[in-house]
Structure 1
Amino acid sequence: MVAYIAWLLPFEKVLHWLSGIRGPSEAISPWLWKSAEKGLWDTAKLSKQLALVTGAQIGVQLTVSSYRHVAIEMGRRIKGLIVQQVELEAAVADSDDEAADPLTGEAH
């Protein structure tokens, strides 16, 4: 659910903005599969529309299944970056007079 709120809702708004397609009303905005014209979508409809928009905008046609894989990997990478940042901050806090390289976290 956190990924939906953090990534999918903003991603949806960007796709609508880039494509010029009117977004859904606020009444159905919490739903993942929806249309401003026809309400909630089934999986086949979502896959078709997602493939059209992502194919035109990013050059890769993502269906629901492929988007799930992309979203999971994005989550893993973001989690990895957060872990690296926390480790770097801990290393800097632990070093008294040593400076840490901001990219590697190694002490100088």
Structure 2
Amino acid sequence: MPCLVQEDSSKQKKFWSVAALTLTFLAEWGDRSQISTIALAAAKDPLGVTLGGIIGHSCCTTLAVMGGRVLAEHISERMVVTAGGVLFLCFALHGAIMGAD
């Protein structure tokens, strides 16, 4: 039976890795920066734009992952969810008062 536990853990890690890749891809797909990158690649050297985009995104993602790990050591997940919910409600209230223009 210990082999099954190990195999389930490995499958679970693989699932979350694929989920993270998929969600990041989908979140970035329609981003305005993607439109800007397309325009920049059309006007400048596509290889340079590609390498710059890869390096820039890698640096940003690395900082986000390391920062998330540090924050996870000091802040509980419940606190993050609560803060996100409160912030969402504040944005909703602001939108309702100021309008959606």
TM-score of the superposed pair, with normalisation by structure 1: 0.32
Greater share of helix residues, 1 or 2? 2
TM-score of the superposed pair, with normalisation by structure 2: 0.34
Structure with the bigger RCO (C-alpha within 8 Å, sep 6+) is: 1
